[in-house]
Amino acid sequence: MRSLFAASTALIVLSATASAQVPPSIAEQIRAAGQSMDPSIGSAYQPLFPESAWDGVTIQRDISYGRDALHKLDIYAAEQGGAGRPVLLFVHGGGFVRGDKHGAFYPDNIPLWAAKQGMVGVSINYRLAPGHPWPAAAQDLKAAIAWVRANIAEHGGDPSRIVLWGHSAGANHVADYVAHPQLRGSEAAAIKGAVLLSPFYAPAPGDEPHPYYGSDAELQTAPQAIERLAQAEIPLFLSYAEFDPQMMKEFGDALAVGLCSAGDCARTIYLRDHNHFTEGMAVGTGDQSLTGPLLDWMRPLLETGG
């Protein structure tokens, strides 16, 4: 697949072919591992990520968007990309208590993929639980979006066309930002869509306080989260994996049904032969089972004035 965002015109042109699927040898490994939460299996995708993918892309790391030591972001932009490119802002996962925007391969492959698709990729760090409970991460996301709106034009981006993408706990932080109007400000006017890759809210609170949401059942349980997201005005793209943990799959099913029942279906992709880690680690490789449909969904949202 090759996709081009025409920054100099009002129309973003995305060309898409039938999406390539999980390579058979990797699919066999994933099926054998089942619902494993061991991220090492995702490394099977690293050899498929071309070394040339880094060519022609400028990466600026650890730009401050706030006062905390974790208020840092990275920017990925094609050297020959021109001005006025849409922005993809990625929020990493890590169970609310760990994770980083920069790794040996993942999650760097996601904003890098964005740059290769004619966007400007932005990846952020944020304050972590339990030291920084709700709503710290959502507030950090708000601050990062505000920084992007104020500064991204200097890096070739269009401050009026931003798509959010969160994975796992990062997807929760994106969902919380989208679904709680009181957390948003004027910066939200730039958000054209939000990608939720394997978010999770439990059916009921656990026996112990949640490391981020604490003991507030309203914040952390699935029925309330689905109700809030069904009222959100920002278009949603939902994706989750065949070998995600069972409760995560059940939440994905429930969210998809709940949004449709409210009359505003999200574009939903069920990733067969993927698990919780490979779904993100495949981004930028020949496995376009996620990125093919994602680009198709993004095209009309990111047309100038769309």
- H-type alpha helices, 152-220: 169-179, 217-220
> What phi and psi values does residue 70 have, to the nearest 5 degrees?
-90, 0
* pLDDT at position 19: 55
Q: The CATH number of the domain where 232 resides is what?
A: 3.40.50.1820
* Residue 8 scores a pLDDT above 80: no
* pLDDT at position 103: 93
Q: CA–CA distance from 183 to each of 59, 135, 237, 259 (Å)?
A: 30, 8, 21, 21
Give me the domain span that covers residue 113: 24-301
Residue 237: inside a domain: yes
Question: Under a CB-based contact definition with an 8 Å cutoff, are residues 228 and 180 in contact?
Answer: yes
Question: Under a CB-based contact definition with an 8 Å cutoff, are residues 123 and 141 in contact?
Answer: no
**Unique residue bearing structure tokens 């990925």:** 76
Q: Running DSSP on this structure, what letter comes out for residue 192?
A: E
Residue 3: inside a domain: no
* Residue 248 scores a pLDDT above 50: yes
Strand 120-124 to 85-91 pairing? parallel
Task: Give Cβ neighbours of residue 41 (< 8 Å, ≥ 6 apart).
Answer: 29, 30, 33, 275, 277, 278
| pLDDT tens digit sequence for 83-135 | 999 999 999 999 999 999 999 899 999 999 999 999 999 999 999 999 999 99
Residue 131: inside a domain: yes
CA 284 centroid distance within chain = 14
Among residues of the chain, what percentage have pLDDT more than 70? 93
| pLDDT tens digit sequence for 286-301 | 999 999 999 999 999 9
The pair of structure tokens assigned to 52 is 């040339």
Residues 130 and 245: their CA atoms lie apart, in Å, by 23
Residue 262: inside a domain: yes
> What phi and psi values does residue 191 have, to the nearest 5 degrees?
-80, 115
Residues 138 and 107: their CA atoms lie apart, in Å, by 19
Sheet holding 267-275, edge to edge: 57-64, 72-78, 120-124, 85-91, 157-167, 191-197, 236-243, 267-275
Residue 249: inside a domain: yes
**Overall domain count for the chain:** 1
* Residue 2 scores a pLDDT above 80: no
pLDDT grade for 18, boundaries at 50, 70 and 90: very low
Residue 179: inside a domain: yes
Among residues of the chain, what percentage have pLDDT more than 90? 86
Residue 6: inside a domain: no
Residue 93: inside a domain: yes
